[in-house]
Every structure is written in C-alpha cells, then in structure tokens.
Structure 1
C-alpha cells in the first residue's frame, strides 16, 4: 500500500520544479482535480496559449491548445460514457475525461481548461454535432471567437442557438448548412450585424441565395462561393446600391455565377468608370476581419447617390468582387 504524497503541503518554491518536469497536458489534467489544484496550476505554471480550437460533436467536446508552433495538446470530454474509446496515449498527447473521472460537467470542464491555459479567445469553433448537454452557457462567456463553422451534422436548433449567442463576438461565420426553417428566419439572421459571413452555396443543392437575401444582408463582408445569382440579378444589386436601397453597412462582397460573365452586360446602366489595370489601391476594412485590408488592382468605379464610391473587379473564372469605400 502506497502513501499519498502531500503535494499541496509543499511550499511554492518546492512546487515549481515539480511542475517544470510535468508535461503541459499533465498540468492541465492535474488542474481538473479540484479548485485548489486549478489555483496551484495557475500560480506555478504561467501558460500562454497561442491558439485554441474547440470542436463540438454529439458525444464529446474536443479542445486543442497550441502553445507554440511545435507544441500543442488535445483534451476530450465525453458525454456518453458508454462509447468512450481508449485514448490514454502519452505519445498522441490526448486525454479523455468524463463527468465520472473528473467530477465536472461539460461546461465546468471547458471553463476550467480555458481558465488554466489563460485562453482569452478561441481561434476556431467547429460545430459538428448537437451535444446532449448544455454547453451554450459556456459559449456566452467567451469574449472573442475568430471563426465559427456550422457543419451539416449539427442539428438546426443547436446551430441557431449557438449562432444567436456567438455571432456578436466572432469575426467570421461559415455555414456549411442552412439551419433556418424559413426564408424569413434566414433573412432575420442576415440582418444581425455580422462581421464576415461565408456561405459556400455549392454545398446546398436545393438552396438558392436570392437577390432579396442579398438586399437585406448587412454583413461587413459576404462571401458567396459559387453563388447562384445570375448576371441580371447581380447587375440589379449594383443598381440598387447606387440608389441607396441596400444596407450601408456592407463593405465587401465576393460572389460568382455559373454564367459566362460579360463585363458589358454586368456593368450595363452603372455609368462605371474603369480604373487602370496596372494601378493598385489598398482597401481598408472598418473592423479587423480575416484581414485588415486588401490590395486591389484595376476594376470599375461606380458612385451612389450620396457620392459614396464602390469598385467592381472581375476574377479569372466567374468571380466578381465588390468593395464599398468608406
């Protein structure tokens, strides 16, 4: 029979070398034992997470914390204890937790890991399933999420609730499924002061992003990869913008069409003025999105009734970009 070592009885100077010989993943696992263990871990080990990626699936949470380019660790928390694989593998730097072996709920576990690693922001949040436990409350405590991806496996109700909570604190949202029950509900979401919205519409065979959708969208940046709008609809949007009928918040639009783009047809009636192809301009966003600015060359300038300027550029294959200058 072994006698437990009274680790907490050691003075702080004696604790420091003990923790220095522990791997980061072991320190974090230790911090989950109790509130006192968490406090000791935070005092002795000053973690500084470089990037954190969180994945939500139907049976578990997975959090990957990178401290440097070469050093990262992964932790999993399983909701359904009957389906837990054996993942205790020091070489793979992954550990598995449940309520049974940690004494923590999923939300408590997640908050503890983020606290100990001094995580101030989430680099990427992937919703790949709908958990049977409540984790949205924890999402509400996150102040900064760079990217959120909604995947097809995520149930609509969970996706909508997560978007409602997270949208105000995220820079970029990518929808690989449309979780809304009606066009009206979808357009309400499009009006919700988003920063960067990416909708790869080629992944939705029965979904069409319409001109009406585009008219109500007020995201600072909207990316419609392989969008299904035709040249006539795109031309009408530009005319509506010139007549000040679009939301003025939108700064950058990326879209494409399955039609062959004739520049003359797309620019018809816009009184567009060509900008020299060999000259470049920096376009600056009003907020930090995926980047703070973009370098554009050439294009065609158009003006709104209030003299605000926008530039239309054309890519190599059906790609069209629209920049509204501040």
Structure 2
C-alpha cells in the first residue's frame, strides 16, 4: 500500500531521507520547494571528490555516507551532468530530467541542497574550449585542486590556469606548457598553496629570476632544467634580501643533471641564515634539491 511520504511525522520523514540513496534524494528534492528544503535540512553527507570537465558534460564523483545498524557506510558514484538531465555512469541510465535545467542549474541545485559542498579536484582535458572555462568558474565557485592532464592543449591549459587559479588552492600540471613567449615566472606568482609541474620528456627551464618570483607556498618541479650558476645566484640574491617577504616554504626541484652549490659535494645539507633571522635549509641529493624556508 503506497504511503504519502510527506504525511509522515517529521522525525520519521527525516529517517526515511537518511535511508535514501543519492538517486532518490535528487528525485525527491526536485519535486517541490518543500521537498528541496527537507533534503537540505536533513544534512545528508555527500561530498564530490572529483569533477571532470568536458565540452558537453560535467562528471561528478560523489561519496555518500550513511549509518546502517550503527555502522558508517560509504558509496562512490559517478554522474554526468548534461543540459536538462543527469546520467548515472555505472548503469548508464538517465537519473533525473528537468526541462529548462542547464548544467549550471543542476550544479546550483546540488550546491544548495547539499550545502557546504566543496569540489576536491577539478580535472581538465583537451576537449574543453576556452569559452567553457568562464562557465566552469561560475558554477564551481570553490575547489581545492586543479589537475591539467597531458592531453590538454597548451592554450587551454594556460587559460585554465589563469582563469581558475583564483578559486583553486592547489594546481598540478602534467606537461610543459611554457615557451619563450610565455615566461614560466608568470605562472609562479599566483597566491597558491601548492603547484606541481611534471613532464619527464620536456624539462622546465628555470633561472634565478624565476625562483625569486615564486609566490607559491609549496612548489615542486620535475624535472627542472637549471644551471649551477643560476642556483647559486638565487641563493646569493636571497641572502641579500634582508627583511624582504618571500612566501614559499618549500621548493622541490628534480634536476636534469647533478649540480654542486657553492662548491659543496653532490650530497649535502646546509643551513643558511640571513641578517634578519630568516633561515634556509638546503638538501641536495643526487639529482634533486630541496629548499626549506624558515621564519
């Protein structure tokens, strides 16, 4: 016998909502303004762990948690958001449809219903146009990490970095997108928590000027093409910049060739101290160098 769900006492209704899977919650939240608010007030724990952006769809990876017989359970599902409808990737079936809804409307609905929703990782690839990035910035107002795959074109990667870095805390770029016309220094100045540059086939060319321009808390470059002369010049200039603010805490460089800093052996540890009290710990091992900046 069918039961009118909305006729249940509020405590029973809230319990029923906690037993629903993500499909049921979405369908229920779309019925009316009241059902949307009921789902919102239930404070169901749903977290998107990954968003993969394509030209015609946006894929969300959701983790839903619930309590079953006093045991905390988790489930991971991937859904594709199109204009007007959503598709469950696992079963390749249409989950919900609402005429007039765009991708922006769907994601705004999710952000509203599952309040506190924060995208943990946003992935970009070559199928995304530059104009698409403006839309992404509007519908995803906050994100922990931006990942740019090796398949992403250089132009799209540069535009994505420039447009999305204000809403991102961490960035990982898995290709060398820099050339003589696009100085790498421009990509080392945003106020990011971390930046990781990786391309085993095409080393990232660096100079002392680039390293002095870094405004990122934790920078990692693999591999870095920089000479002993430039590294030693960077250290010399850093030592002279008393009372000058320098934001990085770590700079990690995997080097193309073994180097020696200030005629030290290949493997060594050294602590430099400036006149203003700031310290720099240098760790060199084989083809890597780590700079740890201490207040």
C-alpha distance in structure 1 between counterparts of 2:287 and 2:255, whole Å: 6
TM-score scaled by structure 1? Answer: 0.70
C-alpha distance in structure 2 between counterparts of 1:230 and 1:325, whole Å: 24
Aligned CA distance change for structure 1 residues 207 and 258 (closer, same or farther; 3 Å): closer
Structure with the largest fraction of strand: 2
Correspondence for 2:261 among 256, 266, 273: 266
Correspondence for 1:230 among 227, 231, 235: 227
Tell me the residue number matched to 1:320. 289
C-alpha distance in structure 1 between counterparts of 2:47 and 2:239, whole Å: 43
Stretch deviating more after TM superposition (6-15 or 53-62): 6-15
C-alpha distance in structure 1 between counterparts of 2:181 and 2:210, whole Å: 9
The one-character-per-residue Cα deviations of 1:21-42 (angstroms, maximum 9, x if unpaired) are: 4223321343245544422222
Which structure 1 segments of 5+ residues have no match?
278-297
Question: Matched residue of 2:185: which SS?
Answer: helix
User: Does residue 135 of structure 1 match 2:132?
Assistant: no
Aligned-pair CA distance for 1:46 = 2.1
Tell me the residue number matched to 1:72. 76
Question: Matched residue of 2:170: which SS?
Answer: strand
C-alpha distance in structure 2 between counterparts of 1:308 and 1:119, whole Å: 39
Aligned-pair CA distance for 1:200 = 1.1
Q: Is the 8 A contact 1:49 1:119 kept in 2?
A: no
Tell me the residue number matched to 2:68. none
Q: Is the 8 A contact 1:48 1:119 kept in 2?
A: no
User: Does residue 194 of structure 1 match 2:192?
Assistant: yes
Q: Structure 1 stretches (4+) deviating beyond 6 angstroms? A: none
TM-score scaled by structure 2? Answer: 0.76
Question: Matched residue of 1:239: which SS?
Answer: helix
Equivalent positions of 1:185-224 (< 5 A) are: 186-202=184-200, 205=202, 208-224=205-221
Aligned-pair CA distance for 1:61 = 0.9
Correspondence for 1:309 among 279, 283, 291: 279
User: Does residue 163 of structure 1 match 2:133?
Assistant: no
Aligned CA distance change for structure 1 residues 257 and 247 (closer, same or farther; 3 Å): farther
Tell me the residue number matched to 2:120. 123
Aligned CA distance change for structure 1 residues 17 and 241 (closer, same or farther; 3 Å): closer
C-alpha distance in structure 2 between counterparts of 1:234 and 1:97, whole Å: 56
